[in-house]
């Protein structure tokens, strides 16, 4: 458990205890007020459970409505966590495979709130095996920016002087619980790296995934009905969620 998360858990436990003492509440009454089950609340109180940021925010809002809200700093867009708490959790992410034409590749993302970074952050799990059978870890982490004027969600990774940018629509909870956009990254070719762009679709899974589920999800999407569904999503995203200005296949535009 990290120091930041431990502090958050302690803060939530303190709010629960204070509310129970000051208002003479039973644990089942706190459960009804917060919409968090008694077992989970009990584990938070005894220190054996670390609540997810969205659960912590729900408890604090219900029991301590006057508590200051969490906001991203101005550099990240100044967004309020309360407006985006439903973004927190796990997603299956789909893009074109850079190594096999016409195939889709799947990874797993997790969105969290970071008190230290003062913004939402993401972690992408992308661990597999290379062509020689060796374990290859291409996982990424970074910070989440949300522009108040554009509404787009930017996932930015900066490592060793290199930047990867993902630009997505906001989460469409009223349609299909996806975020859609494009990823600009690098792919290895021979002894160098070249820019690579792909449409990207994040499908919300929920607040929890087991290690087994995450490991099974990462890799090329298996052939079959699932592949056809994912390929259709990627083609739709490519057509409707971006503007790729490329040279026409028939030749260069001379105008």
CATH at residue 54: 1.10.260
CA 66 – CA 81 distance, rounded (Å): 15
pLDDT tens digits for range 232-241: 999 999 999 9
pLDDT at residue 249, as a whole number? 61
Whole-structure pTM value: 0.71
Q: Do 34 and 121 fall within a single domain? A: no
Q: Do 174 and 101 fall within a single domain? A: yes
pLDDT tens digits for range 9-39: 777 888 888 778 777 788 888 899 889 999 9
pLDDT at residue 67, as a whole number? 58
Q: Do 146 and 26 fall within a single domain? A: no
For the CA atoms of 188, 189, 194, 198, the dihedral, rounded to the nearest 10 degrees, stands at -70
Domain housing 14: 3-63
Q: Do 37 and 93 fall within a single domain? A: no
In the chain, the number of structural domains is 2
Report the CATH number that the domain containing residue 119 is assigned in CATH: 2.40.128
Task: Answer yes or no: is 208 within a domain.
Answer: yes
Q: Please state the rounded mean pLDDT for residues 184-196.
A: 85
Candidate from 74-78, 180-184, 203-207, 243-247 with smallest mean pLDDT: 243-247
pLDDT at residue 2, as a whole number? 41
pLDDT at residue 220, as a whole number? 93
Q: Do 30 and 117 fall within a single domain? A: no
* Whether pLDDT at 210 is above 60: yes
Q: Do 87 and 59 fall within a single domain? A: no
Task: Answer yes or no: is 31 within a domain.
Answer: yes
* Whether pLDDT at 207 is above 90: no
Mean pLDDT score across all residues of the chain: 86
Q: Do 111 and 10 fall within a single domain? A: no
pLDDT at residue 7, as a whole number? 39
Beta-carbon contacts of residue 157 (< 8 Å; ≥ 6 apart): 140, 141, 142, 163, 164
Task: Answer yes or no: is 69 within a domain.
Answer: no
Q: Please state the rounded mean pLDDT for residues 47-69.
A: 77
Contact 142, 157 (CB under 8 A): yes
pLDDT tens digits for range 114-170: 988 999 999 999 997 777 778 888 999 999 999 888 879 999 999 989 999 999 999
Phi, psi of 154 (to 5 degrees): -110, 125
Task: Answer yes or no: is 70 within a domain.
Answer: no
Using CA of residue 40, residue 170, residue 107, residue 104, what is the dihedral sign? positive
């Amino acid at each position: 458990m990290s120091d930041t998360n431990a502090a958050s858990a302690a803060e939530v436990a303190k709010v629960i205890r204070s509310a129970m003492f000051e208002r003479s509440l039973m644990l089942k009454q706190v459960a009804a007020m917060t919409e968090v089950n008694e077992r989970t609340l009990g584990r938070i109180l005894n220190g054996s459970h670390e609540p997810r940021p969205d659960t912590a925010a729900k408890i604090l809002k219900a029991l301590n409505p006057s508590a200051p809200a969490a906001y991203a700093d101005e550099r990240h867009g100044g967004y309020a966590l309360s407006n985006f708490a439903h973004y927190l959790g796990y997603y299956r992410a789909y893009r074109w495979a850079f190594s096999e034409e016409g195939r889709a590749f799947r990874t797993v993302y997790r969105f969290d709130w970071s008190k230290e970074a003062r913004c939402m952050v993401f972690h992408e799990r992308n661990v597999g095996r290379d062509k020689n059978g060796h374990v290859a870890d291409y996982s990424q982490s970074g910070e989440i920016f949300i522009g108040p004027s554009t509404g787009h969600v930017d996932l930015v990774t900066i490592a060793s002087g290199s930047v990867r940018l993902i630009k997505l629509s906001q989460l469409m909870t009223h349609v299909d619980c996806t975020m859609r956009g494009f990823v600009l990254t690098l792919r290895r070719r021979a002894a160098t790296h070249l820019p690579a762009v792909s449409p990207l679709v994040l499908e919300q899974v929920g607040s929890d995934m087991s290690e087994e589920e995450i490991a099974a999800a990462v890799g090329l999407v298996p052939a079959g009905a699932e592949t056809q569904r994912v390929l259709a999503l990627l083609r739709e995203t490519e057509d409707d969620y971006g503007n790729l200005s490329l040279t026409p296949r028939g030749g260069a535009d001379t105008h």
